[in-house]
């Protein structure tokens, strides 16, 4: 394989500063939303003591899961030895770090008392999956940082494969831990499932690759760097496989619940009678997030259409947000079954679906986390050589494509 030449982006054009300006404004809006919730209390949001994880948690889960999946491209190159993906490994590692930073920023600022995070970091309850996740997230930053160092420093290149192997297994554990946050909550019928951990892993592959494709296409186009059809074709096919796998797990998850008699009411709520949640499931998650991307990716007439690839990636992102909204918020909105097999009556909304509508501060905080991840990516591309100078078909190894 020909030697890969990397370089920083120039980052002096009006467009680059306009991009940073827009992202900076969104970050400030997110900080404003966090300040509003901290100053006035969470009663100004759509959250309540029945729905304690709102829209910010949807964005946080999405970014954290996508961070793990964004590293998949680097793993394919170093762990599985596919040389075609090697020029993309640096950008893959960068996105993994910036997306995780954006997701954790949203998560911390949504706590209401962000300063209380010090308590969580100094007093551990190892029966809580949240305590374990603190180690998983910080460990991910450290391991991916070492992995990037091994790729940047020529004298350390021979350590890139073991570092990549460690990062590969660590990100699987991290995503398993994120999925287990919901899977271990036995008090919520919509969450209590061993399928959520592997489903979150394959969701990470899909979401992370969709973001990676869009960032790669935008970076190459805006900096005038060639991006070959072979590279995009491989990423497109890979995205299609991951989307199909996510759809498979979703089908199995709901079929499993339908097989269990006590889960029938839950499935009816999620799929038919739950108001906004079935609509987001069928039109957001299934149609826009699954069927439409599959049609765009595997349609031979659109095989060379870059707009179709970008549209498929956007659909996966929108469908992923819809999927997490239904899972995270819909799972809380469904009434808790406190006494199985008994009829319960009280004045505290027993058996009543919890109402929730996203507020502006919540949405601003979530979007601000996305903007933070993208801004960090743009600045890093200007400072360090993460991008190859050319990804044209003649400049990358297509023999093993």
**CA atoms in the 13 A half-sphere facing the CB of 185:** 17
For 282, other C-beta atoms within 10 Å of its C-beta total 15
DSSP label at 224?
T
Q: What is the pLDDT of residue 279?
A: 96
DSSP string, 82-109: -GGGGGGHHHHHHHHHHHHHHHHHHHHH
Confidence band of 261 (pLDDT split at 50, 70, 90): confident
Question: Cα separation of 34 and 53, whole Å?
Answer: 14
* Residue 291 or residue 390, greater confidence: 291
For the ranges 15-19, 120-124, 176-180, 318-322, the lowest mean pLDDT is seen at 120-124
Give the single-character DSSP code of 354: P
List the one residue out of 346, 323, 325, 321 whose CA is nearest residue 336.
346
Q: Is residue 388 within a helix (H) or strand (E), and if so which, with residue range?
A: strand 387-388
Q: Residue 183: which pLDDT band, with cuts at 50, 70 and 90?
A: confident
Mean pLDDT of the chain: 89
User: Per residue in 107-160, pLDDT tens?
Assistant: 989 876 777 777 777 777 777 777 788 889 999 999 999 999 999 988 888 888
The label of the residue with tokens 């998983």 reads 136
Please answer whether residues 105 and 67 qualify as being in contact, where contact means their C-beta atoms are separated by less than 8 angstroms: no
pLDDT on residue 335: 85
Structure pTM? 0.93
Domains of the chain listed by start with CATH number: 6-225+232-335+360-393 (1.20.1630.10)
Examine the pLDDT at 276 and tell me if it is beyond 90: yes
pLDDT number for residue 341:
67
Give mean pLDDT, residues 213-222: 95
Q: What confidence tens digit (pLDDT) does each residue in 307-322 have?
A: 999 999 999 999 999 9
Listing DSSP states for 128-157 in one string gives: SHHHHHHHHHHHHHHHHHHHHHHHH-GGGG
Q: List Cβ neighbours of 196 (8 Å cut-off, separation of 6 or more).
A: 179, 180, 182, 183, 253
Q: pLDDT value at position 219?
A: 94
For 168, phi and psi rounded to 5 degrees?
-60, -50
| Portion of the chain with pLDDT greater than 90, in percent | 60
User: How confident is the model at residue 399, as a pLDDT?
Assistant: 43
DSSP H stretches of helix in 260-335:
264-268, 276-279, 292-298, 306-325, 331-333
Q: Which of 261-265, 316-320, 381-385 has the lowest mean pLDDT?
A: 261-265
Tokens for 334? Answer: 């469904």
Residue 64: pLDDT over 90: yes
Alpha-carbon distances, residue 70 vs 42, 90, 104, 270, 399 (angstroms)? 32, 11, 16, 29, 24
Q: Angle 55-70/306-325 helices, nearest 10 degrees?
A: 130
Q: Could you identify the residue written with the tokens 């394919």?
A: 76
Q: Does position 89 have pLDDT exceeding 60, yes or no?
A: yes
- pLDDT of residue 288 exceeding 90, the answer is yes
pLDDT of 339 higher than 90 = no
pLDDT, tens only, 33-55: 999 998 888 888 989 888 989 99
The pLDDT value given to residue 213: 96
| The most confident of 45-59, 235-249, 349-363, by mean pLDDT | 235-249
Do the bridges between strand 6-7 and strand 387-388 make them parallel or antiparallel, or are there none, so unpaired?
A: antiparallel
Helix-helix angle 89-109:360-383, to 10 degrees = 150
For 91, phi then psi, to 5°, come to: -65, -35
**Sorting pLDDT into bands at 50, 70 and 90, what band is 400?**
very low
């Amino acid at each position: 394989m020909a030697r890969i030449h990397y370089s920083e982006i120039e980052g002096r054009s009006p467009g680059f500063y306009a991009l940073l300006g827009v992202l900076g404004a969104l970050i400030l809006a997110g900080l404003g939303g966090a300040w509003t919730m901290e100053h006035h209390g969470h009663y100004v949001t759509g959250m309540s003591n029945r729905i304690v994880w709102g829209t910010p948690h949807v964005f946080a889960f999405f970014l954290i899961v996508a961070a793990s999946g964004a590293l998949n491209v680097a793993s394919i190159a170093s762990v599985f030895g596919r040389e075609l993906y090697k020029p993309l490994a640096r950008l893959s590692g960068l996105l993994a770090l910036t997306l995780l930073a954006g997701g954790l920023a949203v998560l911390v600022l949504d706590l209401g008392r962000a300063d209380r995070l010090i308590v969580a970091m100094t007093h551990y309850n190892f029966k809580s999956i949240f305590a374990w996740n603190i180690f998983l997230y910080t460990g991910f930053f450290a391991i991916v940082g070492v992995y990037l160092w091994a790729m940047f420093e020529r004298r350390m290149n021979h350590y890139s494969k073991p570092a990549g192997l460690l990062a590969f297994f660590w990100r699987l554990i991290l995503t398993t831990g994120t999925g287990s946050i919901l899977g271990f909550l036995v008090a919520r019928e919509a969450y209590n499932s061993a399928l959520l951990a592997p489903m979150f892993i394959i969701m990470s592959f899909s979401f992370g690759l969709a973001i990676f494709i869009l960032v790669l296409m935008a970076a190459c186009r805006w900096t005038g760097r060639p991006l070959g059809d072979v590279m995009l074709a491989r990423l497109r096919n890979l995205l299609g496989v991951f989307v199909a796998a996510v759809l498979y797990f979703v089908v199995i998850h709901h079929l499993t619940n339908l097989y269990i008699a006590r889960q029938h009411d839950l499935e009816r709520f999620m799929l038919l009678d739950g108001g906004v949640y079935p609509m987001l499931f069928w039109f957001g998650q299934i149609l826009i997030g699954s069927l439409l991307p599959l049609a765009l990716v595997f349609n031979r007439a659109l095989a060379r259409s870059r707009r179709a690839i970008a549209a498929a990636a956007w659909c996966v992102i929108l469908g992923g947000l819809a999927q997490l909204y239904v899972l995270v918020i819909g799972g809380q909105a469904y009434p808790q079954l406190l006494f199985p097999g008994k009829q319960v009556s009280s004045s505290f909304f027993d058996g009543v679906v919890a109402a929730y509508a996203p507020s502006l501060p919540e949405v601003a905080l979530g979007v601000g986390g996305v903007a933070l991840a993208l801004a960090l990516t743009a600045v890093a591309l200007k400072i360090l050589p993460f991008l190859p100078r050319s990804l044209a078909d003649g400049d990358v190894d297509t023999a093993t494509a």
